[in-house]
Amino acid sequence: MTDDRPPTSYAEAMAELETLLDALEAADADVDLLVERVRRAAVLVRFCRSRLDGARLEVEQITAELDEDDSSSPSASPVDGSEPAVGPSSGADSL
């Protein structure tokens, strides 16, 4: 009677894991359901690990792309594309 369906999201898996842990930690935990609950928890933990691994890889890829962008563009240029202000008349003194 084990629920083998995969969760639809990381948040759903974590919420179900919390519910399972509460049930397992209860003083009146049903020993007959123990194996079933632990088996379901294992399914959820595997799912969460997979999602975390995928997210880690994606973040590493994104940051690597950002690093490539940074190394290919001139570092002295401001973000807005304007020329950097040089000298004492950068605009603040002319008020």
Q: What's the confidence (pLDDT) of residue 40?
A: 95
Q: Is the distance from CB of 64 to CB of 56 less than 8 angstroms?
A: no
21/5 Cα distance (integer angstroms) = 18
CATH 1.10.600 fits 10-72, yes or no: no
29/9 Cα distance (integer angstroms) = 27
The tokens of 75 are what?
């570092």
Q: Which residue has the tokens 């962008």?
A: 69
Break the chain into its structural domains and give their ranges. 10-72
pLDDT in tens, 12-70: 999 999 999 998 888 787 888 888 999 999 999 999 999 999 999 999 999 999 988 88
| Terminal-to-terminal C-alpha distance of the chain | 78
44/31 Cα distance (integer angstroms) = 20
34/43 Cα distance (integer angstroms) = 14
Q: What's the confidence (pLDDT) of residue 76?
A: 47
Q: What is the mean pLDDT of residues 69-92?
A: 60
